[in-house]
Amino acid sequence: DDEVVTESDSVIMQLVNKIILDAQAKRASDIHIEPNVGKKNVEVRYRVDGDCALYQTLPYSYRAAVVSRIKIMSNLDITVRRLPQDGKIKFKKPGGEEMELRVATIPTQGGVEDVVMRLLATAGDALPLTSMGMSERNFRELRAILDKPYGMVLVVGPTGSGKTTTLHAALHEINTPDRKIWTAEDPVEITQYGLRQVQVQSKIGFDFAAAMRAFLRADPDVIMVGEMRDFETAKTGVEASLTGHLVFSTLHTNSAPETIVRLLDMGIDPLNFADALLGILAQRLVRTLCKKCKKAYHPDQNEFNEIIQSYGEEQFLKLNIPYDDKFTLFQPKGCGICSNTGYKGRMGIHELIVASDGIKRLIQKHETVEAMRDLAMAEGMTTLLQDGIYKSIQGVTDFKQVRRVCIK
């Protein structure tokens, strides 16, 4: 059908609404609308559990109308087609419940425009810390850190590794009426009764550092800042921890030991930082195998050796896992429940460095990442890769997923 439809057409309105509602039902984090040149169809892909998959194709005659409809919904200029634009959609679901989407349009080759919509977690509730999938040691050590009256706790990892979820789970543990908890976030994605939550507005100069300075004048017990983006925020955070406050924040670093060196390189005073730090939790999200259809298999000696090499021979021996006929791993199969992917949902893998006296001494000396890692491991830390491998041996995920998210 070559007839071109317009954005005011009821078919288009219903279609766009359905794309959004289906995305939420399938737990997608993003919707990608990808028009093609000529008379090729428009592809709509959803990102679910970290991977993109085709959701449906639309006739090319809907191309301009779908994009324009989304622009109208997000208050963008429908006449501007050659420049990227970004906006927000406040979407009312049939039951009256509201959801929010962040929208970005990007002009692509051939005079068409792509649209990517990020489904913002409608301020949901915090998850309990027990549901984070932590190893016994990591849970025990983190819980002990949360009982401390003051100091600094950092959760680190790339964008989309679940840092905010973990921070809120940690705050949830200590969110009691006898404590005043201030948070500065960008944006506020999880709401918790009892927390005083603030949305920062960098455009008007109200950034994380400014929010933190304001909190320090507002009788806090606990402060959470969304991210330590700069020296100013990090320095204020360290000072706040030293003056009797529990401070939580995040950084975009790859591992727990690297985070220490990154902050020292930023110019943070080593003595103050050593005093302030309680612990650093690095994390990633891995896809979990579908419980309904995952398939058990007995790996050959080569695969077992590869696991030992990746884990580290010396450390692997401590796990006391022999290679015998009973040794089983699991692999994805695919069924109706997991949309034939073999995976359903995600879980965290973690690396927790506890600021022991030994670690504090290394911080004071501005030691290398290797030195920090070696001591932390000697004191019981498992690396992200080790935690992931252990979880794949338990059959929760597989080695392939772990390798995808661990750099080393």
Q: What is the pLDDT of residue 1?
A: 47
Match 């998959």 to its residue by tokens. Answer: 53
Last residue in a domain, options 72, 90, 120: 120
- Say yes or no: 144 and 282 in one domain: yes
Last residue in a domain, options 120, 153, 168: 120
Q: How far apart are CA 138 and CA 64, in angstroms?
A: 51
- Say yes or no: 205 and 313 in one domain: yes
Among candidate residues 351, 339, 227, the one with its CA nearest the CA of residue 287 = 339
- Say yes or no: 133 and 116 in one domain: no
- Helices 231-242, 208-216: crossing angle, 10 deg rounding: 20
Residue 308 inside a domain? The answer is: yes
- Which tokens hold the place of 278? 């309680």
Average pLDDT, the chain: 93
The neighbour count for residue 54, using CB atoms within 10 Å, is 11
- Say yes or no: 316 and 390 in one domain: yes
Among candidate residues 134, 169, 98, the one with its CA nearest the CA of residue 283 = 134
Among candidate residues 212, 207, 209, the one with its CA nearest the CA of residue 222 = 212
Residue 3 inside a domain? The answer is: no
- Which tokens hold the place of 274? 């050593």
Q: Which helix (H) or strand (E) holds 31?
A: strand 28-34
| Domain, as residue range, for 139 | 129-405
- Say yes or no: 325 and 245 in one domain: yes
Length of the chain: 408
- Say yes or no: 244 and 393 in one domain: yes
Overall domain count for the chain: 2
Domain harbouring 172, CATH code: 3.40.50.300
pLDDT tens column, 178-199: 999 999 998 887 888 999 999 9
CA distances (Å), origin 271, targets 31, 229, 370, 395? 47, 21, 20, 43
- Say yes or no: 97 and 151 in one domain: no
- Say yes or no: 202 and 83 in one domain: no
pLDDT tens column, 33-87: 999 988 899 999 999 988 899 999 999 999 999 999 999 999 999 999 999 999 9
- Which tokens hold the place of 2? 């070559």
- Say yes or no: 204 and 322 in one domain: yes
- Helices 256-266, 231-242: crossing angle, 10 deg rounding: 100
Among candidate residues 202, 204, 213, 142, the one with its CA nearest the CA of residue 172 = 142
Question: What value does the mean pLDDT take over residues 197-215?
Answer: 94
Q: Global pTM?
A: 0.85
Q: What is the pLDDT of residue 202?
A: 86
- Say yes or no: 15 and 149 in one domain: no
